[in-house]
Structure 1
Amino acid sequence: MTLQALIATADRVFSLERFPIPALKPTEVLVQTLYSGVSVGTEFMVFQHRLDWGPFPVCTGYQATGEVIGVGSAVDRFSEGDVVYYRSNFAPLTLNGTEVNRCSASHSDFAVVPQDHEIELLPEGVDPAVGAMFVMPSVGWNAVDMAGIQMDELVAMQGLGLIGTGAMLAARLRGARVVGIELDERRMQLARDLGIDHIIDARTEDVEAALEAIQPGGADVAFEATGLPQNLDSAFRLARRHGRFVYLGNLGSAPVSFNFMVPHTKMLTCFFPCNDGLKPCRDSVLRNIASGALPWGKTISHTVDAQDAPELYRAIDNKSLPELTGAVIKWN
């Protein structure tokens, strides 16, 4: 029995390759993947060498849903037929004698997962395609929780990618008022469709003046969610004096610089959230998807069959999909 996985080389060649599936260890489960979610931010930072996750070739993907089709002799948390969500695939991958770096490796049609390693039952009522995109909103949930956002606070989000959008929706569910700041029309329209309170078009508006009109003095909490170091200075200026600032976007492995005097004179409290908040945030996100409180399916603009995944990745890498917001790969 073999599995098929999406592989990327150091020069950004994407292909589907086959690998043997090993015998299960006593505490492992074998999952037949239904959908894996694409991270157009983190994954492509790895491919473009802005984020170092180790040597190439790599198999990326850190979020998926699937059906358990095999269990090890000591597994007691799952049964065959269970539908699950998970972060990683532990099947060893070797291509032409070279070990493939498993950067979580959920982009494959089967996954081998230890029963206690970031795998849980998918809540009833969650579409597996939507559930396969659970990490991005969970990252936002975690950041909002760290920043302690309260009812009626004003939150300014610079950058409306999926992580920024997830954070905005988490803040709104806590009762905060939310301002989204963006250059891309499709992202702004998605935010409007999701019910965000205020949208500032950074192409045509004076962002600071527009925010001042909403709340004099600035936002109680400002987020930098583009992941671009050159945008830090403009994000700092969004926060009020004695406000809070969240470094939400992944700024990469290289050192960054900013104008120290802006956050210094505002006396900002800063937060550096990492990862997706683990099981508490993931469970909260999926419960809210199941209830309809989090309409995350609206963020998925592209669903592709597995055989078309390499072409999808080439198109994203070449920036030839301007209409893309979120994407999932359908495996089985």
Structure 2
Amino acid sequence: MDAKALVTNAHQRFSIESVSLPDPGPRQIKVQTLYSGVSIGTEFAVIKGKLNWGPYPLVTGYQGVGIVEQVGSEVTEYAIDDRVYYRNNMEIKSTDGTPISSASGVHCSHAVNNIDGNHAAAKLPEGADEETASTFVMPAVGLNGVDIANPRMGQTVVVYGSGLIGLGVVAACSHRGCIVIAADIEGGRLEIAKRLGADYAINLEKEDIGERVEEISPDGADIVFESTGVSDCIDPAIALCKREGKFVLQGNYGAKPISYHFLPPHSKRLTMYYPCDDGLEMCRRAVIKNMAAGVLPWHHTITHRCSFEDAPQLFDALNRGRAATVLGAVIRWA
């Protein structure tokens, strides 16, 4: 089956290429992609080689929404024209048969997906906006971290870093009735954090976060979610915790070792959490259901949209650091 995909080569150049996908197996479905969501954190860590998801050339993207075009011989749960959301594209080759690494591979006009397993495709809930739902992974990652750390109603939480994952944490903590403090260096992100339920927004370039948190919660925060994925932010974020509080390493810090000072969390007797992945189908469905119900106004996080033909230019600008205003981005395929 021929398709179009956003391909990254070894020189980190981006182009739309004709590719070949296999026919769906007995327990697989073929999907026409409508929208794929861009992760400006993890995807570009893969593109830059900080995370190894396979050799170049590669196709990234791990979140999409589409319409079922074909079902495998043993599939009874899905039908043609069902709307689905998914995280993978199983196998991609160039039209001459050369393998292309499917680094999840969703930035493609079509996808072949399993319907069984942890990252299987699932039906899109009724009423969900297709464009917004295509960015479901980051809020699901945030929800998973919140579910693991279990902040309680009335507790004070600090979300250190208000990128997409941090904003997912903000929304999930707000839904639980927490007092939510969002922190970031970008004022625009903080405005979105307030729309998603943050009670306080602290600009790290203009305010002393230690002093501000002390004003709000003199003993410190009950839980701090370090959501930047930048290891240099771990120690200043730990300093915001109260004694016997909780600290969540919510970001993805890459494959290289990280370090932080032992004594501050040791002396405070902190409990530390290392959430992984997006919480699987329970978290994914929960955030998309909340989007559809209007409880999670995630559309505010989408700052950029483009057709698949223009995706190489967007990715080049992101890769070169020339798109600082991009927070959430969506590629339209059909």
TM bracket (short chain): over 0.9
Contact 2:151 2:173 in 1 (8 A): yes
Match for residue 285 of structure 1 among 287, 298, 316? 287
Q: Tell me, in whole angstroms, the C-alpha distance in 1 between the residues paired with 2:317 and 2:28.
A: 35
Q: Which residue is equivalent to 2:144?
A: 142
Q: Tell me, in whole angstroms, the C-alpha distance in 2 between the residues paired with 1:206 and 1:89.
A: 45
Do structure 1's residue 110 and structure 2's residue 110 form an aligned pair? yes
Q: Which residue is equivalent to 2:228?
A: 226
Q: Which residue is equivalent to 1:42?
A: 42
Q: Which residue is equivalent to 2:271?
A: 269
Contact 2:59 2:102 in 1 (8 A): yes
Partner amino acid, structure 1, of 2:27? T
Partner amino acid, structure 1, of 2:266? H
Deviations 1:87-122 (A, max 9, x none): 101133247654211111011000111222421110
Q: Tell me, in whole angstroms, the C-alpha distance in 2 between the residues paired with 1:235 and 1:206.
A: 12
Q: Which residue is equivalent to 2:169?
A: 167
SS in 2 for 1:210: helix
Q: Tell me, in whole angstroms, the C-alpha distance in 2 between the residues paired with 1:88 and 1:23.
A: 15
Contact 2:18 2:94 in 1 (8 A): no
Greater shift after overlay, 97-106 or 309-318?
Answer: 97-106
How far 1:57 moved relative to its partner?
A: 1.4
Contact 2:21 2:93 in 1 (8 A): no
Q: Which residue is equivalent to 2:178?
A: 176
How far 1:196 moved relative to its partner?
A: 1.1
Q: Which residue is equivalent to 2:196?
A: 194
Partner amino acid, structure 1, of 2:133? G
Q: Tell me, in whole angstroms, the C-alpha distance in 1 between the residues paired with 2:267 and 2:95.
A: 54
Match for residue 297 of structure 1 among 292, 296, 299? 299
SS in 2 for 1:4: strand
Q: Tell me, in whole angstroms, the C-alpha distance in 2 between the residues paired with 1:43 and 1:121.
A: 24
Q: Which residue is equivalent to 1:33?
A: 33
Structure 2 length normalisation: TM-score?
0.97
**Do the aligned partners of residues 20 and 99 (structure 1) sit closer, same or farther apart at CA in structure 2, a change above 3 Å counting?**
closer
Partner amino acid, structure 2, of 1:232? I
Q: Which residue is equivalent to 1:213?
A: 215
Deviations 1:2-55 (A, max 9, x none): 111111123211111112232322221110000000000000111122222232
Q: Tell me, in whole angstroms, the C-alpha distance in 1 between the residues paired with 2:250 and 2:10.
A: 27
State how 1:95-134 maps to structure 2 within 5 Å.
Answer: 98-117=98-117, 118-134=120-136
Partner amino acid, structure 1, of 2:54? G
Contact 2:165 2:227 in 1 (8 A): yes
Contact 2:34 2:332 in 1 (8 A): yes
Partner amino acid, structure 2, of 1:266? K
Contact 2:32 2:111 in 1 (8 A): yes
Deviations 1:59-110 (A, max 9, x none): 1100000000111111111000100000101133247654211111011000
Q: Tell me, in whole angstroms, the C-alpha distance in 2 between the residues paired with 1:23 and 1:253.
A: 34
Q: Tell me, in whole angstroms, the C-alpha distance in 2 between the residues paired with 1:193 and 1:78.
A: 36
Q: Tell me, in whole angstroms, the C-alpha distance in 1 between the residues paired with 2:228 and 2:9.
A: 26
Partner amino acid, structure 2, of 1:140? G
Gaps of 5+ in 2: none
Structure 1 length normalisation: TM-score?
0.97
Q: Tell me, in whole angstroms, the C-alpha distance in 2 between the residues paired with 1:54 and 1:266.
A: 41
Q: Which residue is equivalent to 1:242?
A: 244
Deviations 1:200-249 (A, max 9, x none): 11111111010000001110000111111111110100110000000001
Percentage of pairs with the same residue: 42
Gaps of 5+ in 1: none
SS in 1 for 2:92: coil
Q: How many residues align?
A: 332
Q: Tell me, in whole angstroms, the C-alpha distance in 1 between the residues paired with 2:252 and 2:79.
A: 37
Partner amino acid, structure 2, of 1:111? A
The alignment's C-alpha RMSD in Å is 1.2
SS in 2 for 1:285: helix
**Do the aligned partners of residues 95 and 21 (structure 1) sit closer, same or farther apart at CA in structure 2, a change above 3 Å counting?**
closer
Q: Tell me, in whole angstroms, the C-alpha distance in 2 between the residues paired with 1:25 and 1:169.
A: 38
